[in-house]
Amino acid sequence: MRTPGDDAAPIEADAADSEESRVEVYVTTDTSAAPHKADEPMLYVMYDAAHPEGDKLYFTEAEWEAFVLGVKDGEFDLDESGNLP
């Protein structure tokens, strides 16, 4: 079974900085793209709008709320080197 990111290759930092990336989120009731979450009434879908054909992350409502709380609490803040502490 393929997992998103299985085919990911390391990229140089300069290459990552030169490409524009824009994260967007939408809510959907269509769970066909995430069959493991088919019983959910709705999903939050996060994707890179600059590369909409790329992988998407699917969150249940509870997962999305936990993610947003983590962002607000600084759980994903980076240090001066751009790394998670």
Tokens read off for 17: 């900085």
Q: How confident is the model at residue 19 (pLDDT cuts 50, 70, 90)?
A: low
* Summary mean pLDDT of the chain: 83
Asked whether residue 64 carries a pLDDT value surpassing 90, the answer given is yes
Give pLDDT, residue 3: 42
CA-closest candidate to residue 4, choices 54, 46, 55, 52: 55
Domain boundaries along the sequence of the chain:
21-72
CA-closest candidate to residue 76, choices 67, 4, 46, 5: 67
Give pLDDT, residue 84: 82
